[in-house]
Amino acid sequence: MLTSILITHTLAGTVCLISGLLAMSSRKRKGRHTYAGELYHGAYVTVFITALIMSIWHWEESQYLFYIALFSYGLSLSGYLAVKRKWKDWINFHIGGMLGSYIGIVTAVVVVNVHRIPLLNEWPTLLFWFLPTIIGMPLIFLVQWKYKPGK
């Protein structure tokens, strides 16, 4: 059973990576952007649920994944709800939440797989926990500035 959960988790994570890129690269209007965003959020729900199950199942080795899943899905959910509810300053919450959750999923993929990549597997693993955030945070601020209301 755990193998099928891991496969589901991996497939949903792959869908997140692809649909997230599609949403980021498409024009910000109804159509491709919103379809890719809905797909991204739906796949992220699956990643979240499967991550929780796997972390609880192997709590001693993977309890940190439980908290990472809560945090990264919280970002995705806040970005998703911001655009649905259109609350005050919704665009910044949407951009920050969705791109923040994308940083989370990229971090997970990199950390889990870096030991398989020649040359990179010789670098300290801790670097790969922070590198996506170091690269991604300035990009979030740039995108938020680009879509700043009244600009």
pLDDT greater than 80 at residue 151: no
pLDDT greater than 90 at residue 40: yes
89 exposed, middle or buried (CB, 10 Å; 0-12, 13-18, 19+)? exposed
The alpha carbon of 80 is separated from its chain's Cα centroid by a whole number of angstroms, namely 12
pLDDT at 120: 92
Share of the chain above pLDDT 90, in %: 87
Model pTM?
Answer: 0.92
pLDDT at 53: 96
pLDDT in tens, 122-131: 999 999 999 9
pLDDT at 148: 86
Q: Find out whether 8 and 28 touch, Cβ atoms under 8 Å.
A: no
Q: Find out whether 71 and 36 touch, Cβ atoms under 8 Å.
A: no
pLDDT at 64: 86
